[in-house]
Structure 1
């Protein structure tokens, strides 16, 4: 059964899908201050270009960023573990994006998934700190062999939910995550203004405060979810 394309409704857009996938940091959870603080400490320790690290690290697994920037001979595994522990111990200032809690509660749990470059422990900590319920289906860093911008995580989440990529929408904020969603063949809603220019099959919202949901069961027992952005 093919799904209807997005249709304009006054100044809004509506799209109908069978599954909804969310990134976490910057998409559901505002953890910017902590992330930037950890990377600043890393950059200062090794006299690296902090701004360049920030430009390329957002949405990417920490180990991939460390592997890219750490000096030759550095213990990447140990550094990744150390920075991960720093992130897990810092929760001050973590909040949910406006409307995120309401949207998650309005969506059927068996039709949504979290797909994050954080590991499961960190994801649980940040979602709890933000007051958000973790979806039953979550694809975290340890569940994939290739992190964003590779599409593996999004494709795996769609498979776990029993949805075809063309029937999925992804909410993302970072260029690496957007690239992963697009490579997976999924429609993409960019949250915030850091994702670059929009292409066909992409939308942009500042947050979730104006997003509404209507979810109904189809004849196959799955869900038809209409999101108005």
Structure 2
């Protein structure tokens, strides 16, 4: 007796004018280093490392230090110390599968990196992973309010000259997903964070993502991504 075939899911097709990427966990796998640094911070002050890792992913380091450092601690100095530790550690930093090919296929003037890392760390991590840095970047020092606030994503859209409704964001962390959603942007979740709502999609990595790009009448780009 034959059994009915399993239904084949159809790929999702998104048409946008710009693509915004988070970095850590989205383009670059730097999990081991991030966990090392925060474990040392937690151990120094007797803090719950699991709680810190649960809430720090995708958030600016200074915001996490401010949240968890003991009363009276020098938040600025601690943040600078942790940032310096992260900059000197690149072992095991790799690009997610398909990330390099997708970045290469997208027009530079239609993409931006929006990361909670500072500009120096972003450059170090992208280089270590073998990825080219987009010309347009919004790093931690470029915003007043970090993720989950939408300021970074809205700023990137403005720099690219596109409406938030014409943007798709690739994100992996709850704070970043919340920021993209608050900015009114379609969101592709890389990995297994959170649950999907309308206007959200999920991929394990970029292995099966393809893109075509055509110039529109205004000189911008019309990008069609197949997930």
Q: TM-score, normalised by structure 2?
A: 0.96
Give the secondary structure class of the aligned counterpart of 1:86: helix
> What corresponds to 1:158 in structure 2?
157
Matched, 1:77 2:76: yes
Counterpart of 2:181 in structure 1 is 182
Once the two structures are superposed, the pairs formed by residues 1-229 of structure 1 within 5 Å of their partners are: 11-193=10-192, 195-229=193-227
Equivalent-residue separation in structure 1 for 2:33 and 2:78 (angstroms): 17
CA RMSD of aligned residues (A): 0.8
CA deviation map 1:133-181 (0-9, x unaligned): 0000000000000000000000000000000000000000000000000
Aligned partner of residue 213 in structure 1, secondary structure: strand
Distance across 2 between alignment mates of 1:115 and 1:218: 25
SS at match of 1:147: coil
CA–CA distance in structure 2, aligned partners of residues 149 and 10 of structure 1: 31
Structure 1 ranges of 4+ moved more than 3 A: none
The DSSP-based 3-state class of the residue aligned with 2:152 is helix
List runs of 5+ in structure 2 lacking aligned partners.
1-7
User: Counterpart of 1:136 in 2: which secondary structure?
Assistant: coil
C-alpha displacement of 1:10: 5.3
TM-score (norm 1): 0.95
**Matched pairs, number:** 220
* C-alpha deviation, 1:11, in angstroms: 1.9
